[in-house]
Chain A
Amino acid sequence: MANLNIASWFKPFERIAKEHTALISGVWIVLVLALWFIGTSGATKLFPPPSLVWAGFVDLFNEGLVRHVGSSLWLCAQATVISIVVSLVVAYLAPIPAFRPVAVMLSRMRYLPLTGITFYMAMVVNDARDMQVLVLVVFMSLYFITSLLGVVAAIPQEELDHARSLQCSRWEVLWEVVIKGRLDYVIEVLRQNLAITWMMLVTVESILIAAGGLGVLIKNSDRFANHGRIVALQIVILLVGLGIDVFLNFLRRLLFRYSKI
């Protein structure tokens, strides 16, 4: 291990060895855990103690936590695939002047509140599972479109000129520079926005309780003020989300060797 100079840990912009970074992270984890154990050891508890959370986790596991995680992931996957396809079509049409206002308008609609819109969606969709997917698709798409428009807008004019100078038609420029040349960014956009989707699960899964999912589990636990279960679920949701994030980042590097975002 590199020389341990703790003073350097507190110096702004100081570059430190990787092992030291890991060590600092470890210290923080220990501190948080210690705070959790000590802070919940007294008579008054504002936060459930680790033992209660562990008991909540065991309860959840026995009640089919894995199945619920699977259900949430499946819902998320369905909505993600549909919304990314819709968003890509909209974003790729954005460089065409006639379609640009539509893309920009859809992007602005991300400020719409969820509640009012779901009412109208319920009028056109009968199946509750379809309703869950539709709600997620609509809202995910608005965020995806916003991010993808940002990716398209950030392409330097020089890259477009380079393709044009190689006798590319405007459609070829769109295909080579915007679509093929930025495929890796799609995974990155997905990765950045999946956090929002993951947070929306709780709301969306409450539409159809029979289908299960992490959102349903949280809702049930909340109803009975079972704090141990609630925190256990939060931790599970966080870990699954982080797992997806790591997987997508790995996938981007695996599929696109040239990608250094």
Chain B
Amino acid sequence: MPTYNQAEAILQVQDVGVAYGDKQIIQNINFTEKDVLRPDQVQGQTIAFVGRSGRGKSTLFRSLAGLEKPTQGTILISDLDAQEQEGHPPLRGVREGDVGFVSQNYVLFRHKTIEQAMEFAMRKREDVSETEKGKMITQHLKDWGLYQVKDQYPNELSGGQRQRTAILEQVLSSTNYIIMDEPFSGLDVGNIQNVINAFKLINLSHELATIIFCTHDIELAVELADSLYVIGYPTKPGGGLDNVGTLVKHFDLKARGIAWSDQFSREHQLLVEEVKQAILDS
């Protein structure tokens, strides 16, 4: 089992609910994710959400990204601009733009070339000089296999190049949190591998780097995540399912000793079955 420790909370979701008019979409969402520390290596966090369609995953993601204001509860993230308290950044309410958001369709600015999009993504970073920004962009474009197409517009890119551009844009925008809404949906094997590689690059980039994603591919969720939540309809006390989404199950892959593994073991497979059952029951 890999050795690890957990430090301060980096994401705290307290009693979050979202309603559109009279229609409650999600409610009572509570969870806390902490910074994971592994000896002698930089380790970010990878959190997966799975569940049946229409259970509120996208609504929760939009709330986590600050794009949708919850009607109830609070979402707190690390405030990296504030002075550290007891050796770690304090938490504050999430705001629009705090969290990178990569949509299922890998949306990009249609009027910007890849390089222009990266420059735009970095425009608000005051911790880096203009010269350094240029160097960083070049280096990242090379690392992510996009340098050759840096002067091309989104409509001139392949699907895989669009994905990497959309993810890299958020990486360079410097938010430590990146939410990806079904990043594997509709991708071929090669492009799925591209996204997996992107996950690894992000995870190794910063201790606080946190990827939150949802998928219908349970095997991939179990393979990549170190923490996995099932969102669904809870069972009512009298039997039958409620009709408002909430978190019905949490699987901590770190505690089970199967996180960050290069092999998809029998334990992983057993977990897949457990997760599938939890989804079917909700």
- Bound together, the chains give a CA A177 to CA B124 distance in angstroms of 18
**Set of chain B residues within 8 Å of A256, measured between Cβ atoms:** 111
Which residues of chain A have C-beta atoms less than 8 A from B121's C-beta?
166
B108 close to chain A: CB less than 8 A: yes
- Interface hits, B151-188 → A, CB 8 Å: 153-156, 166, 169-170, 173, 175
The verdict on A11 contacting chain B, using a C-beta distance below 8 Å, is no
**Contact indicator per residue, chain A 160-171, by CB within 8 Å of chain B (1) or not (0):** 011111111000
Instruction: Answer yes or no: A159 CB below 8 A from chain B CBs.
Output: yes
In the assembled complex, the Cα of A166 lies from the Cα of B117 at a distance in Å of: 10
B105 within 8 A of A: yes
Q: Which residues of the other chain, A, contact B100 by a CB distance below 8 angstroms?
A: 165-166
A257 touches B96 (CB 8 A): no
Task: Please report the C-alpha to C-alpha distance between residue A88 and residue B99 in the assembled complex, in whole angstroms.
Answer: 32
| A-B contacts, CB under 8 A, total | 61
Q: How far is the CA of A158 from the CA of B103 in the complex (A)?
A: 7
CA distance A159 to B36 in the complex (A): 33
Q: Is the CB of A165 within 8 A of B109?
A: no
Distance from A151 Cβ to chain B, minimum over Cβ atoms (Å) = 13
> What secondary structure prevails in chain A residues at the interface with B?
helix
Contact check, A158 vs B105: say whether CB atoms are below 8 A apart.
Answer: yes
Contacts of A260 in B (CB 8 A): 155
Asked if A181 CB lies within 8 Å of chain B CBs, one says yes
Q: What CA separation (Å) do A50 and B195 show in the bound complex?
A: 66
Docked-complex contact A159 and B107, CB < 8 angstroms: yes
B107 touches A158 (CB 8 A): yes
- A165 to B, closest residue via Cβ: B101
Tell me, yes or no, whether A258 is within 8 Å of chain B by CB: yes
Q: Which residues of B contact A166 (CB under 8 A)?
A: 97, 100, 120-121, 169-170, 173
Q: How far is the CB of A160 from chain B (nearest CB, A)?
A: 9
In contact, A181 and B97 (Cβ under 8 angstroms): no
A161 touches B103 (CB 8 A): yes
Contact A181-B101, Cβ < 8 Å, known A164-B96, A166-B121: no
What's the Cα separation between A223 and B167 when bound, in Å?
68
CA distance A232 to B108 in the complex (A): 49
Q: Does A97 contact B (CB under 8 A)?
A: no
| B67 and A161 within 8 A (CB) | yes
Residues of A within 8 A of B170 (CB): 165-166
Q: Is B110 in contact with chain A by the CB < 8 A criterion?
A: yes
Assess whether A156 is interfacial by the CB under 8 Å rule: yes
Closest to B99 in A: A165
> A15 within 8 Å of B by Cβ?
no
Contact B110 A258 (CB under 8 A): yes
Whether B107 pairs with A258 at a CB distance below 8 angstroms is no
Are B97 and A165 within 8 A (Cβ)? yes
B249 contacts the other chain (Cβ, under 8 Å)?
no
For residue A176, CB closer than 8 A to chain B, the reply is yes
Report if B276 contacts A (CB, 8 A): no
Which residues of chain B are near A18, meaning CB under 8 Å? Answer: none
B128-166: CB near A (< 8 Å → 1, else 0) gives: 000000000000000000000000011110000000001
Chain A stretch 148-189: residues in CB contact (< 8 A) with chain B: 156, 158-159, 161-168, 176-177, 180-181, 183-184
Q: Once bound together, how far apart are the Cα atoms of A168 and B120, in whole Å?
A: 10
A258 touches B154 (CB 8 A): yes
- 26 residue pairs of the A-B complex, CB under 8 angstroms, read A158-B103, A158-B107, A161-B101, A162-B101, A162-B109, A162-B166, A164-B101, A165-B170, A166-B97, A166-B100, A166-B121, A166-B169, A167-B96, A167-B97, A167-B124, A168-B97, A177-B109, A181-B110, A181-B111, A183-B111, A184-B111, A257-B153, A258-B110, A258-B153, A258-B154, A258-B156
Chain A residues with CB under 8 Å of chain B are 156, 158-159, 161-168, 176-177, 180-181, 183-184, 256-258, 260
The 5 A-B residue pairs with the shortest CB-CB distance, nearest first, are A167-B97, A165-B101, A258-B153, A162-B107, A158-B107
Other A-B pairs beyond A166-B121, A168-B97, 9, CB < 8 Å: A162-B103, A162-B108, A162-B109, A165-B173, A166-B170, A167-B175, A256-B111, A257-B153, A258-B154
